[in-house]
Amino acid sequence: MNALDLSRWQFGITTVYHFIFVPLTIGLSVLVAGMQTAWHRTRNPLYLRMTTFFGKLFLINFAMGVLTGIVQEFQFGMNWSDYSRFVGDVFGAPLAMEGLLAFFLESTFLGLWIFGWGRLSPRLHLATIWLAAFGTIMSAYFILAANSWMQHPVGYRLDPETGRAELTSIWEVLTNPTTLVTFPHVIFGAFLTGGMFVAGVSAWHLARRRDVPLFRRAMRAGLVFSLVAALGVTVSGDVQARVMTEQQPMKMAAAEALYETTSHASFSLLTIGSLDGGEELWSLRVPHVLSFMATGAPDGTVEGVNDVQRAYEERYGPGGYTPVIPITYWTFRLMIGMGLLAGLLAAAGLWLTRRGRLPGGPWFHRAALAGVALPFLANTMGWIFTEMGRQPWVVMGLMRTRDGVSPDVGTAEVVTSLTVFTVLYAALAVVAGALMARYARQGPPPQDRTPGADEPMPVFSY
C-alpha cells in the first residue's frame, strides 16, 4: 500500500469513527433539552432525574465526538494538502464558519450547562442546553455544505492560471440543492439515533421493572421521536435519491449494480453473485422500485454503469469512473434496510406500549436494544456509500482522489499516524463503551426534591 491508499484508509477510519458519536450527540442534545424543558414546565422531579441520567450519557458521548472532531479539522491539510490547495478558496469558508458559528456555541454553552446548575437561573440554564443543541445542528449544516460541494460543486469557477477552484457565490454554496436535501437526511438520521438510544436504554430498565414511571415516559418519548425521525429520513432520502441520480448518475447505477440502462428498473433486495455485470446466481427483486427511487416514475429510465462510464470517458478522458460496486451495492441497501427496520421497531414499540401496556417478554427488550444499534449502522453505511460512491473523484468532476493526497507526506509517516489513530481509537472505544454501559445500567440517582437556586445538587462537574 502506498501513502495514497493509507491516507484513504486513515480518512475513512477516523471519519467513520467520528460519526459514530456525532449523530448521538445531535439527537441526544435535543432529547435532553426536551426532558429539561419538561422539568422546567411541570416541576415534576421525575423529569429532572431523567435529564441528569440521560445528560450524563450524553456527556460521555459528547466528549468523544468533539475530541475526534479535532482530527477532522486538520487532516485535510495533513494528508490531503493538494486537495486543500485546490479547494481551499471554496471549501475553507464553510469550515471556518462552522468553527465560528457552531463550535464556539456548543462548547461554551455546554460548559455553562454542565457547571451552571444552581449558578444560573433555571430559565437561563435551560436556554444553555438548547443553545448547545442548536450549535450541534448548525455544525452539521456547515460541514454538510462543505461535503455537498464535493458531491456537486456549485458557486465556483476554475482559475485558468492556477487551475484552482475559486468561490464566486457563497450563497450558492450554502444553498446547494445537495446540501438542502442532505442536511435533513442527516439530521433526521441523528434524531433516529438519539431516539432509539433513549428507547433502548429505557427498555433495558423496564425489563427489570426499575423506575417504571420514569423509563416508560422516556421510552415513549424516544419512540415517538424515532418514528417522526424515521419518516423524515425516508422522505428526505427519497428526495435525495432523485437529486443524486441527476447529479451523480454513476452513484445511483452503482447503488443497484445496474450495468445496462433500463426503464421499469427493479430494486433488488439482495443478490447472490459477483455483482460485476455478469450472470447473477439469484436475486430477490421488487419491480419498478429503482425507477421510482431514481426518477419518481415507476417506468422511468435509469442509466446503467456502462453508459455513464462511456459518457464520462468522452467528457473527462480515458480512465475508470466506476466505484467499487459491491461496496456501493451493499452499503446502499443496508443503510435503507436498517433505517427502515429501526422505524418499524419504533412503530411496533409504540403500539405495544399503548395506553399503559408494558410488555414483559424478553424478546421485546432484546428488540429494543438491537434497535439502538440499527441507526448507528445505518448512518455508517450511508456515509460509506455516499463517499465511496463518488470515487474516483474527491470533488465530483473536478479532482480525482489520487491527485489530492499530500505529495510531501511519506508512507512511513502515514503508517505511523494510521497505526496510532487506529490503536488509540480502539482503546477509547472500549473505555467510552464501558463507561456508557456502566452508567446506562446504573440508572438515575435517587432524588425526591427539586433543588433551589445556589443549592448543591448532583451535577456533572469533574
Partner 1 sequence: MEPTTVWFTLIAVLWTGYFVLEGFDFGVGVLLPVLAPRRRALDGGGTTEVDRRLMINSIGPVWDGNEVWLLVAGGATFAAFPEWYATLFSGFYLPLLVILLALIVRGVAFEYRGKVDSARWRRNWDRAIFWGSLIPAFLWGVAFANIVRGVPLDAEHHYTGTLFTLLNPYALLGGLTTLAVFTLHGAVFLALKTDGEIRWRARGLLTRLCAPVAVVAAGFLAFTQIEHGRPMTWVTAGAAAAALLGGLAAALRGREGWAFTGTAVAIALTVATLFGDLWPNVMPSSTADAFSLTVHNAASTDYTLKVMTWVAVLFTPVVLVYQGWTYWVFRRRLTREIIAPVETGSGAEAAR
Q: Which of residues 118-177 bind partner 1 (CB under 8 A)?
A: 118-120, 166-168, 170
Phi, psi of 271 (to 5 degrees): -135, 135
Q: Is 327 in the site for partner 1 (CB under 8 A)?
A: no
**Please, what is the minimum distance in Å from the beta carbon of residue 179 to partner 1?**
16
Cα 209 from Cα 341, distance rounded (Å): 26
- Stretch of 33-41, 55-63, 282-290, 323-331 contacting partner 1, by CB under 8 A: 55-63
Q: Is 84 in the site for partner 1 (CB under 8 A)?
A: yes
Rounded least distance, CB 411 to partner 1, Å: 12
Report the relative pairing of strands 267-272 and 282-286 from DSSP bridges. antiparallel
- Grid cell listed for 250: 454513476
Question: Is residue 59 a contact point for partner 1 (CB under 8 A)?
Answer: yes
Distance CA 231, CA 342 (A): 11
Is there binding between residue 58 and partner 1 (CB under 8 A)? Answer: no
422531579: which residue's cell?
45
108 near partner 1 (CB under 8 A): yes
Select 156 or 385, whichever has its Cβ closest to partner 1.
156
Site for partner 1 in 440-459 (CB under 8 A): 442, 445, 456-459
According to CB under 8 A, which one of 138, 231, 428, 429 is a site residue for partner 1?
428
Query: Of 320 and 433, which has the nearer Cβ to partner 1?
Result: 433
> Residue 427 Cβ, how far from partner 1 at the closest point, in Å?
10
State the residue for C-alpha cell 445511483: 252
Q: From 413, 410, 425, select the one nearest 70 (Cα to Cα).
A: 425
388-417: contacts with partner 1 (CB under 8 A): 406-409, 413, 416-417
Q: Which residue has the cell 439502538?
A: 372
Number of H helices, E strands in the chain: 15, 8
Residue 90 or 378: the one with the smaller Cβ distance to partner 1 is 90
Q: Which residues contact 44 (CB under 8 A, 6 or more apart)?
A: 38
In the beta sheet, which residues pair with residue 282?
272
Q: Closer to partner 1 at the Cβ: 70 or 270?
A: 70
Q: What torsion do the CA atoms of 57, 60, 62, 63 make, to the nearest 10 degrees?
A: 170
- The answer to whether 110 and 62 have CB atoms below 8 angstroms apart is yes
81 vs 306, beta carbon nearer partner 1: 81
Q: Which of 208, 209, 310, 438 binds partner 1 (CB under 8 A)?
A: 438
Grid cell, residue 156, equals 465556483
Minimum distance, C-beta of residue 147 to partner 1, in the bound complex (Å): 15
Smaller CB separation from partner 1, 75 or 245: 75
Cα torsion through 182, 188, 194, 200, rounded to 10: -120
- 73 in contact with partner 1 (CB under 8 A): yes
Rounded CA gap, 132 and 32, in Å?
11
One of 31, 35, 66, 206 touching partner 1 (CB under 8 A): 66
The window from 213-221, 258-266, 369-377, 434-442 that contacts partner 1 (CB under 8 A) reads: 434-442
Window 4 to 43, contacts with partner 1 (CB under 8 A) = none
Question: Given phi > 0 = left and psi -120 to 50 = alpha, else beta, which region is 449?
Answer: beta
**Given the complex with partner 1, which of 160 and 461 has the nearer CB atom?**
461
| DSSP H/E element including 308 | helix 305-316
By rule CB under 8 A, what count of residues binds partner 1? 80
**Binding flag, residue 48, partner 1 (CB under 8 A):** no
